């Protein structure tokens, strides 16, 4: 199957089963999304939402986060992994947003990357969600699904996968498709016990054909 046919097939199927896929992190302010994405590293969105539902009420604005001690922030997020590093990141981000960016999340990657805990993926998520920038964030689900569906090679890096996805799909598809990849990987094409039998993409799935990495237990 040619690349364009494969991509069209994927888009058609995703639009069929996940027409309204969207960000599952809860937020009401721009910096809350940035905080939530940083907190989500190696943690589920569900767990992050549990933490932030309390965190954002206790500290309702950036000034309250700035006044809070590092230990206080740690105590409020210690239920998630890497909480010490993430607390440091939240403090650094808060300080920079207040004093460097006039209380606003910057709309460009250069500035976002100056903040602790903000790497390429976090920056891409913020840019695509808050500013509708033409980015294609690659998280663990996007990374896995892309390789299973033959959109990238097994040994490709995250950066290489992102580059290939950008080339294979139209820019106006990036935002919805990014969420569809995540939801597909989270609820259908799971790392363990994926729903292969009912999947309409199994004919192009490399793992189904090679039986190489799908785990059944």
Known catalytic residues?
121, 139
DSSP assignment of 139-180 equals -HHHHHHHHHTTSS-TT--HHHHHHHHHHHS-GGGHHHHHHH
Are 119 and 113 contacting, i.e. CB atoms less than 8 angstroms apart?
yes
Please report, for residues 15, 90, 113, the alpha-carbon distance to residue 109 in angstroms, rounded to integers and kept in the order given. 29, 18, 6
Helix or strand run (H / E) with residue 32: helix 30-39
Sequence-ordered strand ranges (E) for the chain:
none
Find the DSSP H helices in the chain.
3-17, 30-39, 45-58, 62-67, 70-77, 83-99, 109-112, 120-131, 140-148, 158-168, 174-187, 206-210
Closest CA to 140 of 119, 124, 126, 161: 161
**How many residues are present in the chain?**
217
Cβ atoms of 78 and 51 within 8 Å: the answer is no
């Amino acid at each position: 199957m040619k690349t364009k046919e494969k991509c069209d097939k994927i888009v058609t199927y995703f639009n069929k089963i996940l027409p309204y896929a969207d960000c599952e992190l809860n937020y009401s302010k721009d910096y809350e999304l940035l905080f939530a994405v940083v907190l989500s590293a190696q943690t589920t969105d569900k767990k992050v939402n549990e933490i932030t539902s309390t965190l954002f009420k206790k500290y309702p604005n950036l000034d309250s986060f700035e006044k809070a001690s590092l230990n206080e922030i740690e105590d409020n997020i210690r239920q998630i992994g890497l909480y010490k590093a993430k607390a440091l990141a939240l403090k650094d981000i808060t300080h920079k947003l207040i004093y460097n960016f006039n209380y606003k999340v910057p709309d460009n990657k250069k500035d976002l990357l100056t903040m602790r805990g903000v790497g390429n993926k976090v920056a891409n998520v913020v840019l695509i969600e808050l500013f509708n920038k033409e980015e294609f964030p690659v998280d663990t689900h996007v990374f896995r699904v892309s390789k299973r569906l033959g959109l990238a090679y097994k040994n490709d890096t995250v950066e290489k996968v992102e580059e290939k996805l950008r080339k294979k799909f139209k820019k106006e598809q990036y935002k919805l498709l990014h969420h569809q990849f995540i939801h597909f990987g989270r609820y259908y094409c799971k790392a363990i016990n994926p729903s292969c039998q009912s999947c309409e993409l199994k004919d192009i799935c490399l793992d189904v054909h090679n039986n190489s990495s799908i785990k059944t237990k």
